[in-house]
Amino acid sequence: RDSFSGSLPPRAFYIYLPRGYAEHIDKKYPVLYMHDGQNCFETYHQDSYTGAWRAEEAADAIIGSGRMQECIIVGVSNGLSERMAEYLPPYASYRMPKRPTPRRKGKRSKRRTAPNPPIIGRADQTLAFYQDEVAPYINDRFRTLTDRDNTATCGSSMGGLFSTYIAWEHPRFARHHALMSPAYHTTRRADGAMEAVERMRCHPRPDVRIWLDSGTRDTEDSGDDDMVETQQARDALLAAGFTPGDDFRYYLDHGAIHHESAWSKRLPQVFEFLFPLTPPKNNPS
């Protein structure tokens, strides 16, 4: 764990170094940036919101079985109360569901609801933080491969939306992206379309590799983990020219809920896709 101050409020980084990093002093490693860093590692589960992804255990197992390149994993913490704004793209604004207003003492009037102010997306500022401050900090302190072909991002929910934003709006930062249970509904426009999905459909395809997934429930007895919205994103990617294979995977996790416990179970497959033992070729387009 390391602390960092920059253009965004101070936050912790959680850093995984592969086995043998200290011994192989001439070797450089690809880097995976994971959002919601306080939730990434079981070693620091006490810092997590509702449980850890156990990313270090997944990486040890997949690397050890020869299915993933050795890499450095950097969990970048979110800004807590600023998390949604930090991960929401600047082309979107989102109102949280209405909350009840407190009753005045002695009053028997019906409980009213007050609208929440809109949250304006600042993902452009968060991406600049990653690109211009976090990555140079990591590259100065660790033996990293710094090109985009050796850089990946991974996030869930709002973090999955943030990785979508990076892939489409700033693809020079990283080539490999995992979009897990992405919260595309937060970019819904007045006409009902989701701006994040429409950008996939209408903008030129960037040279990126995409893992996209969802579960089928928000909780054990409600919701669908944005399954329908994620399937619309899958269809938009196919329309944009992605084909299932080395550069694109879609996975529906039947019965899985919107929670770290479910993302943890899918993480070995995600890691194997992001940094396979044989690096994928560049997209000729």
Q: Is the pTM here over 0.75, yes or no?
A: yes
Q: Report the chain's terminal Cα–Cα distance, integer Å.
A: 39
- One-letter amino acid at 262 equals A
The pLDDT score that the predictor gives to residue 250 is 98
Per-residue pLDDT of the chain (285 residues; tens, 9 = 90+): 777 778 999 999 999 999 999 999 999 999 999 999 999 999 998 988 888 999 999 999 999 999 999 999 999 999 999 999 999 999 999 988 766 555 555 555 555 666 788 999 999 999 999 999 999 999 999 999 999 999 999 999 999 999 999 999 999 999 999 999 999 999 999 999 999 999 999 989 999 999 999 999 999 999 999 999 999 999 999 999 999 999 999 999 999 999 999 999 999 999 999 999 988 877 655
Cα gap 209→236, rounded to integer Å: 15
